[in-house]
Amino acid sequence: MDNQRPRLSPAKRREKRHQAMLRYEKQKRRNVMAAPGCHDIILVLDHLKGGFNVPKIFRSAEAFGAAEIHLVNVPPFDPAPGKGAFKKVPARFYEQMSESLESLQKAGYSLFALCADADTSLTKSELPKKSAFILGHEEFGHSFEPAQHPDIHFISIPQFGQVESLNVSIAASIVLYEYVRQHGKG
């Protein structure tokens, strides 16, 4: 038995994309009213694809009480998989990573970047109350040169299987969980 969905016609695909962009614009307007969560953790999405992962990250950020999410050069995305979280977690939009980093540093945040081959483990790191985590593009990694940012701490999530890395939305959820585990309820 074939469980594949029937292929959509080009016209139906265009209509689906159009509806997704309407949802994006509507929720982006509502996002202006979003209030920070109960924790001082910020996620920075560094050039992620605008697909399924971004709304899932918003959903996890809302569930764990994140303060906000920075979207650095992230294209519009369909917010539907996030179950309304895009309008609830404050989003800050940046064209360049340097703008986001400057904002975070001025606000007193410690900067961490997830990297599969980093020597320091997330679970062995003591996370400051004001922590910001940079999540890079799944295929291309971070958009900046680590040597240019000695103030960013590179950390990894321990893995014991054979895959090279985790899905970025799963990695974000693990980071959020570990932060909340260390800092308790907001």
**pLDDT over 90 at 28, yes or no:** no
DSSP letters, 94-159, are: ESSHHHHHHHHHHTT-EEEEE-TT-SEEGGG----SSEEEEEEBTTTB-SS-GGG-TTEEEEE---
Q: What is the pLDDT of residues 49-98, one digit of tens each?
A: 877 899 999 999 999 999 999 999 998 887 877 787 988 999 999 999 99
Residue listed under structure tokens 């962009």: 21
Q: What is the pLDDT of residues 166-186, one digit of tens each?
A: 899 999 999 999 999 999 876
Domain 10-183 sits in CATH 3.50.50.60? no
The pLDDT assigned to 52 comes to 82
Closest alpha carbon to 131 in 41, 53, 66, 62? 41
**What residue ranges do the domains of the chain occupy?**
10-183
Radius of gyration of the chain, Cα coordinates, nearest whole angstrom: 17
pLDDT more than 70, % of the chain: 97
How confident is the model at residue 10, as a pLDDT?
Answer: 77
pLDDT reported for residue 123: 93
Distance CA 133, CA 172 (A): 8
Reduced to 3 states (helix: H, G, I; strand: E, B; else coil), residue 68 is strand
Neighbours of 148 (CB within 10 A): 8
Give the residue, 48 or 83, on which the prediction is more confident.
48
Paired with 137 in beta bridges are: 141
- pTM of the predicted model, to two decimals? 0.89
- Tokens at residue 5, please? 């969905």
Q: Do 70 and 96 touch, CB atoms closer than 8 A?
A: no
Structure tokens at 106: 């001025």
